[in-house]
Structure 1
Amino acid sequence: MNKHLIATAILGASLALSGCAEEPSQQTSQQQHLQPIDVAQVIIKPVQNWHTFTTRLEAPEEVALMPRVAGVIDHIAFKEGDNVKQGDLLFKLDARPYAAVVTSLEAQVQSAKAALSQAQSEAKRAVRLTQRKAISTEQAESRTSMLHQREAQLAALKAQLVSAKLDLEFTDIRSPIDGVISLANITKGNNVLAGQTVLTSIVSNQTMYAYFDVDERTWNSAFNDVTANDKQQVVMQKVGQRAFAHIGYIDFIDNQINAATGTLRVRARFDENEALRAGSFARIKLAASDVTEQVIVPDRAIGTDLKNRFVLTVGDNNILEYKLVTVGERYGRFRTITSGLKTGDVIAVNGPARVGPGMPIAPNQITLDTEGVAFTLSPTAQHILMAKK
């Protein structure tokens, strides 16, 4: 009987020890299966609201080049698509007919000068003879009248000679502006008409304008105090680019609201290089003048639940919690949260990609890197803004 009691006691003690050993083992196993998730504390930064407008770039100077005199093209002096400077020779017309006219008029001017010299001598002689009463007053007045006619004839011929020399000069067709030249529409040997034949086109390329229309409500609420003298900065994105890499400023604001559309015409100026082309489609971003502090989170941290936006925050015991949020503007890979989060909140950086609310996690604390992202646009800002996807 005693042997059985001893065996039972030993078995009970063994089971008790086994149970004590399994409890921490199960806890360790559960911890090992927790999902490791990157978490970070939300950022608080001063931001400006951005307004986006579409536009097409325009060159401040654009010329449809036409000849000022008629003639036959003798020579083309440019390479299509090249940069040209004001005064560069582009086309040369056959100048011989105009040179002949100049030579003829120069001879006529010399003849008129000789006739004028004779008329001046006769007029002087008439004055002396009149004083001695050797000729009549009528004859003297006739010689004076002839002098005036010779002077007028010489002046007219000189004016014709100036015009002829201009026509001769215009046979050399030069660039009126700096810019990029297009194709030659008319080739060597063809006849062109003055003021009618378009030889080619030239557009300036060192500065570009971007006109866009701002609705009256937006302008009054966000930009009412902006003037052209402020040189309010804007950033621009060309088609096919992800970055708003081109920085310009407002240099013109129209003097009235368009009553038909309820918009205000505004122009941005970009003083850059040859990377911008007239006619390009572009998007303009203009920052509101007011700067406010907002909660900033990575855009990928925001999830969508039907019509709602939410963020997963880390609560007690590292359990994820569902937080309904209202999102604001996007700045590169970050977005503002206008309501739902506060200073000190810790969020799941990658959002609900692999986890959900109520799930315990193994948090991996990281720091959000906002370097290179512009949240405000100051007069000296040179940041590159990433486009919205």
Structure 2
Amino acid sequence: MTKTSLALPLTPFLVVLLAACGQQPDGAGGPGGHGGSPPVSVAPATQREVQEFDEFTARLEAPDTVEVRSRVAGTVEAVRFKEGQLVRKGEPLFTIDTRAFRAEVARAEAQIAALKTQAELARTDLARSEKLVSANAVSQQEIDQLRSALRSAEANQKGAEAALVQAKLNVEYANVTAPVSGRTSRANVTPGNLVGVGDPVLTTVVSNDKVYAYFDASEATYLKYMRSAKPAATAVQMGLSNEQGFPHTGKLDFVDNRLNPATASIRARAVFDNKAGQFTPGLYARVKLGGGSSYQGVLVPDRAITTDQTRKIVLVVGPNNIVQPRPVTPGALIDGMRVVDGIKGGELVIVDGLLRAMPGAPVTPQVLKVDDKGMPIPAAPQGQPGAAPAAAPASAASK
């Protein structure tokens, strides 16, 4: 009975005490002392000199890719290279049996000798007959026939000489040589196989002193670079799939003469030195083109840009820490920073906590440190070794 009687009068007192504990002075409630304003991370917009560039994916190709085929039919006698080796133009690759071709050379030479004798005889007969014309011992018809016989003999001799040239070429073609300097592929035939004219492909040789990187650029990119006075002199940087960044430098040396209407893109090509043999045709590569002259631009972290229906906006922390939505026009993306038009350098933009920030409402901003490129540096968790002290709110920093 005693415990029950004490509990009843204390209940209103506890209610009043608990309510009093929940009261706070004006302006002291919530994080940061702003009456419950949500915390957000902000970073200053960076104004600096900007050099725009565009990145593309590319495939490497050799300037010269030649399928080596036989120009005569015959039996392969020898393969005179090691598969995959570097060869110079004119070095032997395959040897085909030349006995039949040498016999044809001998036959053509013998035919030329016989026809030469016939031509000399026709020439002598014509000269003898022309001396008898004045004595009317030979008719004009006989003279015309002798002249025709001489011209026919001379023509046959020239035909035989052409056949001899072809026979000698066949002997030369039987020694298959490298058409260009480069690296050989595997040998597709071995000694003893019979090959025809142009079939099969004996091997493939690709040049390796230079390499081409082919890529497709959009119509907008094409128009931007065509404004340059010397688009072909545009520097191009390249990186392979296992490389960081773009360590290799070349130049743009070709742009196609029309756009592909199906993809609204145009094929372009950059050339790189490959004397060290580090590039292999067919490799995937990343290429980067510098976009003309530099200019002063304002950059914000790309994640700070959000969408409001059909427009892009950035949330700016204005006076009294009030959130102001600012429409912007995004530009190039450079190292995670986006070039924007509509923001001034030094203005504080919200980069983290966008969902907690409401336009026209106050927030509790925490200013993040930035690196030399303007990219915010994530703050280390409090209480851990090496953690930096929490950044002061923008309102306190302004005071």
Give the TM-score normalised by structure 1: 0.69
CA distance in structure 2 between the aligned counterparts of 1:47 and 1:58, rounded to whole angstroms: 32
Cα drift, residue 261 of structure 1: 1.9
Q: Please state if 1:130 is matched with 2:133.
A: yes
Cα drift, residue 58 of structure 1: 1.6
Determine the structure 2 residue equivalent to 1:119.
Answer: 122
Determine the structure 2 residue equivalent to 1:164.
Answer: 167
Q: Please state if 1:348 is matched with 2:369.
A: yes
Cα distance change on mapping 1:295 and 1:261 into 2, 3 Å: closer
Determine the structure 2 residue equivalent to 1:262.
Answer: 264
| Contact 1:70 1:193 (8 Å CA) reproduced | yes
1:249 is paired with a residue of what secondary structure? strand
Cα distance change on mapping 1:177 and 1:227 into 2, 3 Å: farther
| Contact 2:62 2:207 (8 Å CA) reproduced | yes
Determine the structure 2 residue equivalent to 1:155.
Answer: 158
CA distance in structure 2 between the aligned counterparts of 1:51 and 1:178, rounded to whole angstroms: 34
| Contact 1:84 1:179 (8 Å CA) reproduced | yes
Determine the structure 2 residue equivalent to 1:73.
Answer: 76
1:51 is paired with a residue of what secondary structure? strand
Cα distance change on mapping 1:80 and 1:328 into 2, 3 Å: same
Task: Write out aligned runs for 1:197-276 (5 A).
Answer: 197-220=200-223, 222-226=224-228, 230-273=232-275, 274-276=277-279
| Contact 2:126 2:147 (8 Å CA) reproduced | yes
Determine the structure 1 residue equivalent to 2:31.
Answer: none
2:201 is paired with a residue of what secondary structure? coil
Letter paired with 2:264: G
| Contact 1:74 1:189 (8 Å CA) reproduced | yes
Cα drift, residue 212 of structure 1: 1.8
Deviates more, 1:287-296 or 1:209-218: 287-296
CA distance in structure 2 between the aligned counterparts of 1:270 and 1:54, rounded to whole angstroms: 15
CA distance in structure 1 between the aligned counterparts of 2:188 and 2:324, rounded to whole angstroms: 65
Letter paired with 2:59: R
Cα drift, residue 362 of structure 1: 9.0
Cα drift, residue 171 of structure 1: 0.4
Cα drift, residue 246 of structure 1: 1.7
Cα drift, residue 291 of structure 1: 1.6
Q: Deviations over 1:155-192 (max 9, x none)?
A: 11001001111111100101111111100000111111
Q: Deviations over 1:328-356 (max 9, x none)?
A: 76656x74664878359985253233259
- Structure 2 stretches lacking a partner, 5+ long: 1-42, 318-322, 349-366, 371-376, 393-399
Q: Deviations over 1:58-102 (max 9, x none)?
A: 222111110000111111111111111111111111111101110
- Structure 1 stretches lacking a partner, 5+ long: 1-39, 314-321, 364-389
Task: Write out aligned runs for 1:309-388 (5 A).
Answer: 335=337, 338=340, 342=345, 347-349=368-370, 350-354=377-381, 360-361=389-390
**Equivalent in 268, 276, 280 of residue 283 of structure 2:** 280
Equivalences, count: 310
| Contact 2:46 2:298 (8 Å CA) reproduced | yes
Cα drift, residue 227 of structure 1: 6.2
| Contact 2:102 2:171 (8 Å CA) reproduced | yes
Task: Write out aligned runs for 1:89-108 (5 A).
Answer: 89-108=92-111
1:130 is paired with a residue of what secondary structure? coil
Cα drift, residue 303 of structure 1: 8.1
CA distance in structure 1 between the aligned counterparts of 2:313 and 2:260, rounded to whole angstroms: 38
Cα drift, residue 270 of structure 1: 1.7
**Equivalent in 143, 147, 162 of residue 144 of structure 1:** 147
Task: Write out aligned runs for 1:295-314 (5 A).
Answer: none
CA distance in structure 1 between the aligned counterparts of 2:391 and 2:229, rounded to whole angstroms: 53
Cα distance change on mapping 1:283 and 1:323 into 2, 3 Å: farther
Letter paired with 2:381: R
1:103 is paired with a residue of what secondary structure? helix
CA distance in structure 2 between the aligned counterparts of 1:83 and 1:153, rounded to whole angstroms: 46
Q: CA RMSD in A?
A: 3.7
1:353 is paired with a residue of what secondary structure? coil
Deviates more, 1:137-146 or 1:118-127: 137-146
2:281 is paired with a residue of what secondary structure? coil
| Contact 1:303 1:351 (8 Å CA) reproduced | no
CA distance in structure 1 between the aligned counterparts of 2:123 and 2:73, rounded to whole angstroms: 40
CA distance in structure 1 between the aligned counterparts of 2:191 and 2:49, rounded to whole angstroms: 63
Cα drift, residue 276 of structure 1: 1.3
| Contact 2:217 2:268 (8 Å CA) reproduced | yes
| Contact 1:73 1:191 (8 Å CA) reproduced | yes
Cα distance change on mapping 1:293 and 1:354 into 2, 3 Å: farther
Identical residues among aligned pairs (%): 33
